[in-house]
Chains A and B, each alone.
Chain A
Amino acid sequence: MPGPVAVRLTVNGTPREGRCEPRKLLVDFLREDLGLTGTHVGCEHGICGACTILVNGEAARSCIMLAVQAEGSEIVTVEGLARDGRLHPLQEAFREHHGLQCGFCTPGMLLAALDFLRMHPDPTESQIREGLSAVLCRCTGYQGIVNAVKAAAPVLRGG
Chain B
Amino acid sequence: MSAATTKWVGRPVRRVEDTRLLTGRGTFIDDHPPTSGVHHAAIVRSPHAHARILGYDVAAALAMEGVVGVITGEDVAKSTRPFAVGVTAPVRYYCAATDKARFVGEPVAVVVARDRYLAEDAAEVVTVRYEPLPVVTDPERALESDAPVLHEAVGTNLAGHRRLVYGDPDQAFGEADVVIRERFRFPKYGSTPIETYGIIARWDPLEGVLTVWSNFMGPFIMHPLTARVLGLPENKLRFIVPPDIGGSFGIKTSIYPYIALVGLAAMKTGVAVKWIEDRREHLLASSSGTDRIAERELAARRDGTVLGMRFKWLDNVGGYIRSPEPGCSFRPTGNFVGPYGFQHLEVDASVVMTNKSLTGPNRGYACGHLYFETEGMMDRLAERLGLDPAEVRRRNLLRPEQMPYRTPTGGLYDSGDYPAAFDRALQLAGYTDLRRRQARARAEGRSFGIGIALAVDPSVSNMGYVATALDPQFRAKPEYLPKSGAVEAATLKIDPLGRVTAILATTPQGQGHQTIVAQIVADELGLVPDDVTVVDEMDTFTRVWSISSGTYSSRFGSVGTSAVALAARKLKRKLCEYAAHLMDVPADQVEFRQGAVRRTSGQGPAYSVKDLAGRGHWHTDSLPAGMEPGLQVTAVFGFSVAKAVDAEDRVNSSNTYGFIAEVMAVEVDPETAAISILEYVTVHDAGTIINPMIAEGQIYGGALHGLGGALYEELLYDESGQLLTATFMDYLVPTATEAPVIKIAHVVSPSPLTPLGSKGLGESSSMTVPAVIANAVSDALAPLGVRITELPITPDRLWRLIRQAKKPK
| A contact set with B: CB distance below 8 Å | 21, 23-24, 31, 36-45, 47-48, 50, 77-79, 81-82, 87, 91, 94-96, 98, 100-107, 110, 126, 128-130, 132-134, 136-146
Expressed in whole angstroms, the minimum distance between the Cβ of A149 and any Cβ of chain B is: 10
User: B21 interface residue, CB < 8 Å from A?
Assistant: yes
Which residues 266-293 of B sit at the A interface, judged by CB distance below 8 A? 276, 278-280
Q: Mark B729-744, 1 if CB is under 8 A from A, else 0.
A: 1000101110101100
Q: Given A137-B194, A144-B700, does the pair A91, B23 have CB atoms closer than 8 Å?
A: yes
Q: Which of A42, A105, A110 has the most CB of B within 10 A?
A: A42
- Nearest residue in A to B251 (C-beta to C-beta)? A138
Q: What are 28 of the A-B contact pairs (CB < 8 Å)?
A: A24-B117, A37-B30, A38-B23, A39-B24, A40-B30, A45-B727, A48-B194, A48-B279, A78-B23, A82-B22, A87-B19, A87-B22, A98-B693, A98-B694, A98-B696, A101-B511, A102-B246, A102-B509, A103-B17, A103-B22, A104-B194, A128-B736, A130-B736, A138-B191, A138-B704, A140-B697, A141-B703, A144-B697
A82 to B702, CA, bound (A): 31
Expressed in whole angstroms, the minimum distance between the Cβ of B118 and any Cβ of chain A is: 9
User: B779 interface residue, CB < 8 Å from A?
Assistant: no
| A40 in contact with B195 (CB, 8 Å) | yes
Q: Mark B30-70, 1 if CB is under 8 A from A, else 0.
A: 11000000000000000000000000000000000000000
Q: Mark B187-198, 1 if CB is under 8 A from A, else 0.
A: 000011111100
User: B717 interface residue, CB < 8 Å from A?
Assistant: no
User: B14 interface residue, CB < 8 Å from A?
Assistant: yes
Residues of chain A within 8 A of B446, CB atoms compared: none
Interface of A is mostly: loop
User: B705 interface residue, CB < 8 Å from A?
Assistant: yes
Expressed in whole angstroms, the minimum distance between the Cβ of A20 and any Cβ of chain B is: 10
Candidates A21, A107, A134; contact of B24 at CB < 8 Å? A107
Q: Given A42-B279, A129-B739, does the pair A101, B512 have CB atoms closer than 8 Å?
A: yes
| B14 in contact with A95 (CB, 8 Å) | yes
Candidates B246, B700, B736; contact of A133 at CB < 8 Å? B736
| A136 in contact with B728 (CB, 8 Å) | yes
A137 to B191, CA, bound (A): 11
Expressed in whole angstroms, the minimum distance between the Cβ of A56 and any Cβ of chain B is: 20
User: B28 interface residue, CB < 8 Å from A?
Assistant: yes
User: B318 interface residue, CB < 8 Å from A?
Assistant: no
A8 to B735, CA, bound (A): 35
Residues of chain B within 8 A of A39, CB atoms compared: 24
Residues of chain A within 8 A of B31, CB atoms compared: 31, 37
A137 to B339, CA, bound (A): 32
Q: Given A48-B194, A132-B736, A140-B697, does the pair A103, B21 have CB atoms closer than 8 Å?
A: yes
User: B247 interface residue, CB < 8 Å from A?
Assistant: yes
Q: Given A48-B194, A104-B194, A141-B701, does the pair A41, B727 have CB atoms closer than 8 Å?
A: no
| A95 in contact with B15 (CB, 8 Å) | yes
| A43 in contact with B18 (CB, 8 Å) | no
Residues of chain A within 8 A of B735, CB atoms compared: 129, 132-134, 136, 142
Residues of chain B within 8 A of A47, CB atoms compared: 727-729
Expressed in whole angstroms, the minimum distance between the Cβ of B673 and any Cβ of chain A is: 21
User: B82 interface residue, CB < 8 Å from A?
Assistant: no
| A146 in contact with B736 (CB, 8 Å) | yes
A24 to B120, CA, bound (A): 13
Expressed in whole angstroms, the minimum distance between the Cβ of B704 and any Cβ of chain A is: 4
- Nearest residue in A to B707 (C-beta to C-beta)? A141
User: B379 interface residue, CB < 8 Å from A?
Assistant: no
- Nearest residue in A to B14 (C-beta to C-beta)? A95
| B279 in contact with A106 (CB, 8 Å) | no
Q: Given A48-B194, A142-B736, does the pair A94, B729 have CB atoms closer than 8 Å?
A: no
Q: Given A136-B728, A138-B192, does the pair A103, B23 have CB atoms closer than 8 Å?
A: no
Residues of chain A within 8 A of B510, CB atoms compared: 100-103, 139
Expressed in whole angstroms, the minimum distance between the Cβ of A81 and any Cβ of chain B is: 7
A79 to B24, CA, bound (A): 6
Candidates A31, A98, A103; contact of B246 at CB < 8 Å? A103
A6 to B117, CA, bound (A): 18
A30 to B244, CA, bound (A): 20
- Nearest residue in A to B282 (C-beta to C-beta)? A43
| B701 in contact with A43 (CB, 8 Å) | no
Residues of chain B within 8 A of A40, CB atoms compared: 28, 30, 194-195, 246
Expressed in whole angstroms, the minimum distance between the Cβ of B130 and any Cβ of chain A is: 27
Q: Which of B696, B701, B703 has the most CB of A within 10 A?
A: B701
Candidates B24, B512, B733; contact of A136 at CB < 8 Å? B733
| B244 in contact with A103 (CB, 8 Å) | yes
A-B CB proximity, top 3 nearest: A38-B24, A104-B246, A103-B21
Candidates A44, A78, A132; contact of B278 at CB < 8 Å? A44
Expressed in whole angstroms, the minimum distance between the Cβ of B587 and any Cβ of chain A is: 42
Candidates A44, A102, A134, A141; contact of B193 at CB < 8 Å? A102
| B742 in contact with A143 (CB, 8 Å) | yes
A87 to B24, CA, bound (A): 12
Residues of chain B within 8 A of A134, CB atoms compared: 735
Residues of chain A within 8 A of B191, CB atoms compared: 138
A38 to B19, CA, bound (A): 12
| A104 in contact with B736 (CB, 8 Å) | no
Residues of chain A within 8 A of B737, CB atoms compared: 126, 129-130, 133
Which residues 164-205 of B sit at the A interface, judged by CB distance below 8 A? 191-196
User: B25 interface residue, CB < 8 Å from A?
Assistant: yes
Expressed in whole angstroms, the minimum distance between the Cβ of A159 and any Cβ of chain B is: 18
A138 to B509, CA, bound (A): 11
User: B418 interface residue, CB < 8 Å from A?
Assistant: no
Expressed in whole angstroms, the minimum distance between the Cβ of B362 and any Cβ of chain A is: 12
Residues of chain B within 8 A of A103, CB atoms compared: 17-18, 20-22, 26, 244, 246, 510
| A38 in contact with B193 (CB, 8 Å) | no
A47 to B725, CA, bound (A): 14
| A139 in contact with B697 (CB, 8 Å) | yes
Residues of chain B within 8 A of A137, CB atoms compared: 194, 736
| B700 in contact with A87 (CB, 8 Å) | no
| A110 in contact with B22 (CB, 8 Å) | yes
Residues of chain A within 8 A of B15, CB atoms compared: 95, 98
| B736 in contact with A82 (CB, 8 Å) | no
Candidates A38, A96, A126; contact of B25 at CB < 8 Å? A38
Q: Which of A31, A87, A103, A107 has the most CB of B within 10 A?
A: A103
Residues of chain B within 8 A of A141, CB atoms compared: 697, 699-704, 739, 742
Residues of chain B within 8 A of A146, CB atoms compared: 736
| B733 in contact with A138 (CB, 8 Å) | yes
Expressed in whole angstroms, the minimum distance between the Cβ of A17 and any Cβ of chain B is: 20
Residues of chain B within 8 A of A24, CB atoms compared: 117
Expressed in whole angstroms, the minimum distance between the Cβ of B193 and any Cβ of chain A is: 6
Expressed in whole angstroms, the minimum distance between the Cβ of B326 and any Cβ of chain A is: 26
| A102 in contact with B727 (CB, 8 Å) | no
Candidates B20, B697, B705; contact of A101 at CB < 8 Å? B697
Residues of chain A within 8 A of B512, CB atoms compared: 101
User: B781 interface residue, CB < 8 Å from A?
Assistant: no
| A100 in contact with B21 (CB, 8 Å) | yes
Q: Given A91-B22, A146-B736, does the pair A104, B117 have CB atoms closer than 8 Å?
A: no
Expressed in whole angstroms, the minimum distance between the Cβ of A32 and any Cβ of chain B is: 8
| A43 in contact with B279 (CB, 8 Å) | yes
Expressed in whole angstroms, the minimum distance between the Cβ of A151 and any Cβ of chain B is: 14
| A104 in contact with B28 (CB, 8 Å) | yes
Q: Mark B464-498, 1 if CB is under 8 A from A, else 0.
A: 00000000000000000000000000000000000
Q: Given A101-B512, A102-B247, does the pair A138, B193 have CB atoms closer than 8 Å?
A: yes
- Nearest residue in B to A110 (C-beta to C-beta)? B22
Expressed in whole angstroms, the minimum distance between the Cβ of B157 and any Cβ of chain A is: 32
Candidates B247, B280, B699, B700; contact of A104 at CB < 8 Å? B247
